[in-house]
Every structure is written in structure tokens, then in C-alpha cells.
Amino acid sequence: MRPHPREWIGAGVPPGLQSRLGFVNSGAGGFDSHALPPQLCPRRDLSPLRPGSRNDHALALRDTITIRKYQPGDEQAILATFNRVFACDDANFEARTLEHWRWLYADNPLGARIVVAVDCENEVLAQYAGLAVRAKLEGRDTLFCQAVDSINARSERTGLARRGLFAACCESFRDAFGGDGEGKYAFAYGLPVGAPWRIGTKQLGYQLMREGLVLDLDLGRAPEASEDFAADVTVREVERFDAEVDELFARVSTEHAAIVVRDASYLNWRFADSPTRRYSLAVAGSKGSARGLAVYGFGRFEGVVGGLVCDWLTPSDDVDAARALRAWLLAKARASQASRLLAVFGPESREWLDFQHAGFRVRRASHLWAGFSHVRSQPVRWFGRHFYTTLGDTDLV
């Protein structure tokens, strides 16, 4: 039997794997920064805070707990709960700073997307948050949303015994920010693991988008010589991206049915302006004429401390640019004294096979990609095949 055209080279697991789903009652704790809002959650046990407040997504529970959208000034209370909850769940957790929070949300080019449950003293008991990004969906402009920083800090579920405050925040978030209207996201995704995945599939309508898989290059076994590429291709490290990458994205985006907009505005916010991580940015091609881009980082991912391919964008007809950028990534990894270089791409993408031909091997990740779609003609499984993703499309790096 001939292999499927997208089966990978070397070790790995076959596509189409299914996960065992179980049921876990939600309780106190952080949700590992990757949860998704429900598709269908009944509104029982919720009463309006005041007439008309339902349209403002402000709901009261027993007159003491309010579920509402973020308001300026909430960040201190959010950080206090976030740092307390995640410190309990992770012995290696480093407290998030106000600078980090402001970069992630206030400085996001599309602004903050947050729903909180607060008590009468304005303590944050639960949060559902997302990072909205501009995207292209079969050529048209739209928004996607990555679910991050989900919190359930309350073990008792006042007035919501079956769903909990977290689920109610999810419902309110979906109603406030999801859909097909102006400023609404068409597709939401996240990388839930463990209990969040089990709770999400049982209570919140999560759907599997694709299995989590990692491309892993052992630098100790990789040849010292890089792939051959044309002598006229140069790779330039830059402090920030400029308008040349806007033109690059305009060309490459036509090759993808679903992709986050990778223009200078987004890339600089995501990488150059990050207050917590340092990335190396590179452009292939002469000044003013970008033929490809890559972002390198160093850190821990999937239990490995090593080099990370944080972002990547090349056109399908420019093999030399891709090879030149891979050579740059290997040089950066070796200069960082990394023993491994890791990358993430969708199994249907061209890069999935190209990186394996360059020596990367496939291994299973601890996470899953999950999501839900507001577009009837493009269900979650469609995004699993067509959504172009890199590590930069997650909050893992």
C-alpha cells in the first residue's frame, strides 16, 4: 500500500489519533492557560445584575458575584489571583509582572479580550481571556482568538453547582467577543491538557482540532554542513520587522486557507516588544525585498531546553530562501549551545515535510490543539487541516 502523501518521515505516530475523554468536576486551580469557551451553555442560575445588564455581559450570582468584561483597573486584582493560583499548581512558576500583563493585553494591537467573575470586594474568582489576532480565512479578513490565562480560583460554585464560575465566564466571553459581527472572532483555539481538556469536552463544547506533534532535530547528529542554497540569498538579522514583511505576507498568505496575519505590526508586538523573552529575528533577501522570515528563541518546550523555531514564513516557490533560513536557525541554535532545535507546524503544511527532509524527526507532544468555529462551512476539523500554525501562534514560547 502506498503511504499517505502526508505521512511523515521517520519516527512518529499516525494522523487521525483520537483521545480518550473522561469527566472531571471543575474546581479550584489554574487552567494551564489553554481553555476554550463553550459552544452551548444554558443560562440557568444566572440573573441580571440590573435591567439591561445581560446585553453588557454583566451577570450577578446571588447578588454577590458579578461576571463582566474587563474594566481598566482590573489588572491588579487579576494578577493577584493569577499569580496565587498558578503558584499553587506549578512549583517552577514565576509571578507575572504588571509590565508583562500590559504588553500581553493592553498593548495588543486589537486590545484586551477578558471576562472576569468578581465578588463584592472586587476579588477575581475566575477569568476567561483570549488574544485576538487579525487573520485571513480563504482570502477574506477576519479575527481569530487564542484562549489563554484561564483561572478558576473558587472551589465552591455559588449558584452554579453544575457549571461553575469558569464555565459562566466562558459563556459570557463567547457572547461578548465571538461570532460573525464587527470585531468578533470567527474561530477560537487553544492547547488544553489534562483536566482542562476533559472538562472542556464534557462541559464546554471543546472539539479536537489536531494532535499535538513536535519536529525535533538532534543537533549532535545533524551534519555540520547546511543545506545547499543559492549564493545570492542572504539572511539579515534585524531588531524589528518593517514594511518588507508586509509585502512578503501578502504574497505568502494566498497559499494558505487560514493564517494569522504576520505583518510588521503583529510580529513586532509578538516578538520584538516582548518584555519577558528575547528573540532573534531574521529576514532572507536583499534589503526591501524579503523572501522569507524566521524567529529564533531559546527556552523550555515539551520538557526540552533548547532552540525553538518560534515563527516561519516562506513562499512555496523559494526553496533557497527556506534553506538559507534553516541554516541560520541551526547556526543560532549551535551558538546558543542548544542540543536540540524544535519546531511546530500542522501535519498538512508544506513545512511539515520540508523540515523532516532537513533532518527533523516527529514526536508526540503533551498538548492537543482544540477549538471551535463560528463559521458553518469551516468546522473545527477543517481548521485542523488548513490552519497554518507555528509556535508563535501559541503562548508556549
Q: Encode pLDDT of 109-126 as tens digits.
A: 999 999 999 998 899 999
pLDDT of 12 = 36
Q: Is 15 part of any domain?
A: no
Q: Which residues contact 73 (CB under 8 A, 6 or more apart)?
A: none
**Do residues 350 and 227 both lie within one domain?**
yes
Is residue 54 a part of any domain in this protein?
yes
How large is the average pLDDT for residues 365-387? 93
User: Which DSSP helix (H) or strand (E) runs through 283?
Assistant: strand 280-284
- Chain centre to alpha carbon of residue 200: 17
271 within a domain of the structure (yes/no): yes
214-233 pLDDT, tens digit per residue, is 999 999 988 776 677 877 88
pLDDT band at 382 (very low <50, low <70, confident <90, very high): very high
Last residue in a domain, options 183, 205, 227: 205
Alpha carbons 221 and 188: distance in angstroms, whole number: 38
Average pLDDT over every residue of 174-192: 91
Task: Quote the pLDDT of residue 73.
Answer: 94
Q: What is the pTM of this model?
A: 0.83
Q: Is residue 9 included in any domain, yes or no?
A: no
pLDDT attached to residue 7: 34
Mean pLDDT of the chain: 82
Residue that wins the pLDDT comparison between 36 and 249: 249
More confident residue, 42 or 152: 152
Based on the fold, state whether residues 188 and 224 are members of the same structural domain: no
SS3 category, 326: helix
pLDDT tens per residue across span 283-336: 999 777 899 999 999 999 998 999 999 999 999 999 999 999 999 999 999 999
**pLDDT of the residue at 196:** 67
Question: Which among 205, 229, 264 is the end of a domain?
Answer: 205
223 vs 299: CA distance, rounded Å: 23
Average pLDDT over residues 5-30: 32
Could you give the CA distance from residue 224 to residue 215 in angstroms, rounded to a whole number? 19
Residue range(s) defining the domain that contains residue 299? 213-393
| Residue 66 pLDDT > 70 | yes
Tell me: the pLDDT tens digits for 131-176? 999 999 999 999 999 999 888 886 444 433 345 788 889 889 989 9
Average pLDDT over every residue of 42-60: 40
Are 225 and 321 within one domain? yes
pLDDT at 93 over 90: no
How far apart are alpha carbons 14 and 146 in whole angstroms?
26
Burial of 341 (0-12, 13-18, 19+ CB in 10 A): buried
Residue 100 clears pLDDT 60, i.e. is over it:
yes
Among 160, 164, 134, 133, which Cα is nearest to 150's? 164
Count of domains for the chain: 2
Instruction: Say what the pLDDT of residue 63 is.
Output: 53
- Indicate which CATH number applies to the domain containing 150: 3.40.630.30
Q: Residue 6 pLDDT > 80, yes or no?
A: no
